[in-house]
Amino acid sequence: MAQEEAERRKVQVDAVHLDLGALSGVVKEALLFSYGVACDGTLLEGSRLVVTDVPIEVFCSVCKVPRTLKSMQWFCCPECGAATSEILHGKELVITALELKQ
Amino acid sequence: MTTEPRLLAVRKNVLKQNDVLARALRDRFRAQGTSVISLVSSPGTGKTALLERTLTLLKENYRVAALVGDLATENDALRLARSGVPVKQITTGTICHLEAAMVERALEEWSIGPLDLLFIENVGNLVCPASYDLGEDLRLVLLSVTEGEDKPLKYPTIFNSADAAVITKCDLAVAVDFDEVTALANIQAVRPGMPAFLVSSKTGQGLSNYLQFLTATLHAKLHVPADEASSHAEIHSGTSR
């Protein structure tokens, strides 16, 4: 996907930036490991993958504000303790930017 | 002198292709009045046993069918076919989960009439299936009493992505000292408000409540306006909105 984007925009890419949510179901290490292999022989060969971890953010219906969870084993507001299932962030698996060669 | 890196902003959801396909499937199922229910669990939890029982009990009053995913063999499809309803195997080879494209392809090759309920049994795996929306209305996550009460804490992502939990093999609960209260509390910890059912596919314990829940989903779908139904459907589509 990043490669298509690089081709379309005719740019040389130094790094691909990616947001990775804690609830995405994807393991960062596995992603980094496979990135190099996947890029071999493509426009992205030699580029880096820069992963930004996105913590789980829920909406607390009691406090009426977004809260960041401390643990993915405990879906409760860290301030008031109310249980919540309304997830605002944390499922991301999104390419956010291409870092271009200077 | 160092220069600031030149960043070109893009915003591309890596699983977009799957999410788009899943949404198309969901629209198609809605138009056909079919409720789609998927089952996920680790291998050996009893997805096939529960599904065999479910299909046999539902076929009296509903038009039901099942798609079943496995890495290899058609054993599960053969078992499910004993229920007498249409069953189709999706053999994934080395892929450890089902994707929307596999469901779409299976439906294309499969000439079956209109359905009330379509069941999709995922590959036994508590990790990868969490990331792939299959266009289902309801995702059931199963855990058996023999697996330990802390499964939800160990695999929070899949439990969080599900709509209901089914605790299977309850006929063995006493033999393995299963702590029901802890198991239910752990489910609530990772997915507050999620309904949970305690069943035994062998003895039939708890199946009536569970079946009632499944058919209620179908009836709710048939009576709920499309725009409200789609807001529920969005639950599985993650960041693609």
Which domain CATH number covers A6?
Answer: 3.30.2320.80
The answer to whether the CB of B50 falls within 8 A of the CB of B144 is no
What radius of gyration do chain B's Cα atoms show? 19
Band of pLDDT at residue B105, cut at 50, 70 and 90: very high
Establish if B203 belongs to a structural domain: yes
Q: How many domains does chain A have?
A: 1
Domain that holds residue B24: 16-226
**In the prediction, which pLDDT does A8 show?**
87
The span from the CA of A17 to the CA of B196, in Å, is 39
Is B214 within 8 Å of B37 (Cβ atoms)?
yes
Domain, as residue range, for A96: 2-100
Mean pLDDT of chain A: 92
Domain count, chain B: 1
Name every chain B residue with its beta carbon within 8 A of the beta carbon of A91. 238-239
Which residue from A11, A75, A94 is facing B191, i.e. has the nearest CB? A75
Chain B: residues touching A (Cβ < 8 Å): 3, 5-15, 127-128, 130-131, 153, 156-158, 160-161, 188-194, 238-239
List all residues 6 or more positions away from B18 whose beta carbon is below 8 Å from its beta carbon.
Answer: B99, B100, B101, B132, B133
- Percent of chain A exceeding pLDDT 90 equals 74
Q: What share of chain B has pLDDT > 90, as a percent? A: 75
ipTM: 0.79
pLDDT at B224: 60
In this structure, is residue B1 part of a structural domain? no
* Per-residue pLDDT tens over the stretch B167-202: 999 999 999 999 999 999 999 999 999 999 999 999
Residue B110 lies in a domain: yes
Is residue B227 pLDDT above 90, yes or no? no
Q: Are residues B7 and A83, on separate chains, in Cβ contact within 8 Å?
A: no
pLDDT for B236 equals 40
Neighbours of B186 (CB within 10 A): 23
> For residue B49, what is the domain's CATH number?
3.40.50.300
Rounded Cα distance between B32 and B123, Å, is 26
Q: What is the pLDDT of residue B174?
A: 97
Do the beta carbons of residue B143 and residue B165 sit within 8 Å?
yes
Q: What pLDDT is stored for residue B181 in this prediction?
A: 97
Any idea which of B7-11, B51-55, B56-60, B218-222 has the lowest mean pLDDT? B218-222
Q: Considering only CB atoms, which chain B residues are within 8 Å of A9?
A: 8
For residue A53, name the pLDDT band (cuts at 50, 70, 90): very high
